Structure 1
Amino acid sequence: MIVAFVLLPGPLAGNSFADHEQLVAAVHQNFVGYWQAGGPSLPPPMQDVVDYWFRYHVFKGLIAALILATLIVIGVRLRRSLTGAALVTAGTAVFALGLLATVTVMANIQGMVAPFGSLFPMLLERPATPQLTDALTQAGRQLAAGGHLSPAVQAMVDEFVRYHAAMAVIAAVLTIVVAGLAAAAWRRFAKRQQRAVIPILWSLLTLAPVVLLIANVSSVADPAPGLLGLVQGGW
């Protein structure tokens, strides 16, 4: 299944790019076309890349969700069939893989909701053409100056907001789920059915989605600095 996660999303999405470098080149070239067109609508070549990237995230997210579901089933069975050190060792491995699968599902949902925005980091990959560098420089000047934005930059801001709003919602849901698991673990601890390390672990894990939620809400509330940092070479 892990092999499928790595190899299948591109072909299933109708990959017309031989490798990552060709995809980046297409993003660079078509973003320049988008910028020159003045926005806010994506020209057909850019829209084709965005549509492919959306499908890519759909298939990758589905495969990651299947892996996560499989790991949950394995974890339940391990809990019923193993004890002692064997349970700790196997459970730790499954738990770590489950966290990785969860993060992957979250990232791909975010990519589905805002596929154009999830392509933005590729604009920073090298080599960059002079036309792309000039487009990003102009966008940065508008963002730094504030005030009225061109339709193309405003569309980028809107997509940047959508990108972070998606993760904020995902983080909020995850916070509720993990907090619920922590509460259930503390109830079992109160009944002397498990050691304190498990509820403590779940409680600590609750902090991660809370921090993620706060960071993404901040980006939604004030998107210009974050997008400016992106076009100037940061994310």
Structure 2
Amino acid sequence: MSPTAVSSRPSTLPARALGLLTALAVVLGIAVFLAPPLLASIGSTSYANESAIRDAFTNAFVDYWAAGQRDYTPALDQTIDYWMRFHLAKAAIALVLLAVLVTLSVLLWKAFLRSGNLSATRRSTLASTGAVTVLLALFALLLVIANIQGTFAPFSSLLSMLPMNTADPELARTLTQINQQLADSQGAPAHTPPLDVMITDFARYHAILAVVAATVAIALIGTTILFWRRFTRSSDGRTRRVLASFGTLSTLLSLTVVVLAAVNASTAAHSAPALAGFFAGGW
């Protein structure tokens, strides 16, 4: 093997890795929006679009409330099962996408730090591409968090589809009765069975987000400490600027996620008033 071939391999392999990871990210980015409805339909009822899901859930919700029982009606159970499968598929794809984007971001920024012999244009391209990839990774992280919520509390996730300002007399009557019961109970433990189920699931919905946000916050805090430690130990100007940028971003994200965890933990602990606020249009 010639010396030229040996020296070119370190630059060729990262280029191939970048190309493969970019292609994989594009495929996963498309799949995260197109695949979940198809995967959720396997072994379950399929819906043509989100409007069909909304209509099916609204009708099933009205019937469930009228039935006055804790157990879901068959129609509601069917819709909830589909929605759980949908979010599970989306969370799984988004998690793989997040891993790919994080790996791609690391490779891009490492390439940028080693780009001293490249032109200013190529360095600028690496930096801008790396920044965009980081933003996409954050978006993928949001998808993972939101869909974990939907997977473990699909009923509360579906509640957001209810048309609160509706002209449907049956749904309007149902919403009025729910609002009245929530106002009368003032958070007391005695509720009708369907309302009790809603309050419990609403608490679960926010507790899940609180736990996931707290987990993410711990990871971000650890990453923040790592960035700033490396910043203090580095003497290279470009490396310090990159580490300072990521350290600042990670610090801000850590604070944001900590607040998110605290707010949702509080909401979970006071789910009845929070649910009343939701049905009053405050969520």
TM-score bracket relative to the smaller structure: over 0.9
Q: Does structure 1 conserve the Cα–Cα contact (< 8 Å) formed by 2:220 and 2:254?
A: yes
Counterpart selection for 2:270 from 218, 222, 231 = 222
Counterpart selection for 2:232 from 190, 195, 199 = 190
How do residues 66-145 of structure 1 correspond to structure 2 at under 5 angstroms?
66-82=96-112, 83=115, 84-124=123-163, 127=166, 129-145=168-184
Tell me the CA shift for residue 79 of structure 1: 2.4
Q: Does structure 2 conserve the Cα–Cα contact (< 8 Å) formed by 1:24 and 1:125?
A: no
**Deviations 1:79-102, CA, capped at 9 Å, x for gaps:** 232344333211110110000000
* Larger displacement relative to structure 2 (45-54 or 131-140): 131-140
**Deviations 1:191-217, CA, capped at 9 Å, x for gaps:** 025233332221111111111111101
* Larger displacement relative to structure 2 (39-48 or 158-167): 39-48
Bigger relative contact order (CA 8 A; separation at least 6): 1
Q: Which residue of 2 aligns with 1:199?
A: 247
* In structure 1, C-alpha distance between the alignment counterparts of 2:102 and 2:182, rounded to whole Å: 45
2:30 matches 1:6: no
Per the alignment, do residues 128 and 73 of structure 1 end up closer, same or farther by CA in structure 2, a change over 3 Å counting? farther
2:261 matches 1:213: yes
* In structure 2, C-alpha distance between the alignment counterparts of 1:116 and 1:184, rounded to whole Å: 39
* In structure 2, C-alpha distance between the alignment counterparts of 1:28 and 1:39, rounded to whole Å: 17
**Unaligned runs of at least 5 residues, structure 2:** 1-27, 116-122
Q: Does structure 2 conserve the Cα–Cα contact (< 8 Å) formed by 1:172 and 1:209?
A: yes
Larger radius of gyration: 2
* In structure 2, C-alpha distance between the alignment counterparts of 1:87 and 1:194, rounded to whole Å: 17
Q: Identity over aligned residues, as a percent?
A: 39
Look up the equivalent residue of 1:190 and give its one-letter code: T
Tell me the CA shift for residue 126 of structure 1: 6.3
Tell me the CA shift for residue 233 of structure 1: 2.6
Q: Does structure 1 conserve the Cα–Cα contact (< 8 Å) formed by 2:40 and 2:46?
A: no
Counterpart selection for 2:92 from 48, 62, 74 = 62
* In structure 2, C-alpha distance between the alignment counterparts of 1:173 and 1:191, rounded to whole Å: 28
Supply the RMSD in Å over aligned alpha carbons.
Answer: 1.5
For 1:124, what is the secondary structure of its paired residue? coil
For 2:240, what is the secondary structure of its paired residue? coil
* In structure 1, C-alpha distance between the alignment counterparts of 2:281 and 2:251, rounded to whole Å: 36
Tell me the CA shift for residue 77 of structure 1: 1.6
Q: Does structure 1 conserve the Cα–Cα contact (< 8 Å) formed by 2:70 and 2:197?
A: yes
Q: Does structure 1 conserve the Cα–Cα contact (< 8 Å) formed by 2:109 and 2:127?
A: no
Tell me the CA shift for residue 124 of structure 1: 2.7
TM-score, normalised to structure 1, is 0.95
Counterpart selection for 2:218 from 167, 176, 185 = 176
* In structure 2, C-alpha distance between the alignment counterparts of 1:228 and 1:62, rounded to whole Å: 32
Per the alignment, do residues 95 and 125 of structure 1 end up closer, same or farther by CA in structure 2, a change over 3 Å counting? farther
**Unaligned runs of at least 5 residues, structure 1:** none
Count of residues in Structure 1 that have an aligned counterpart in Structure 2: 235
For 2:46, what is the secondary structure of its paired residue? coil
Q: Which residue of 1 aligns with 2:209?
A: 167
Q: Does structure 1 conserve the Cα–Cα contact (< 8 Å) formed by 2:164 and 2:281?
A: no
TM-score, normalised to structure 2, is 0.79
* Larger displacement relative to structure 2 (119-128 or 140-149): 119-128
2:20 matches 1:20: no
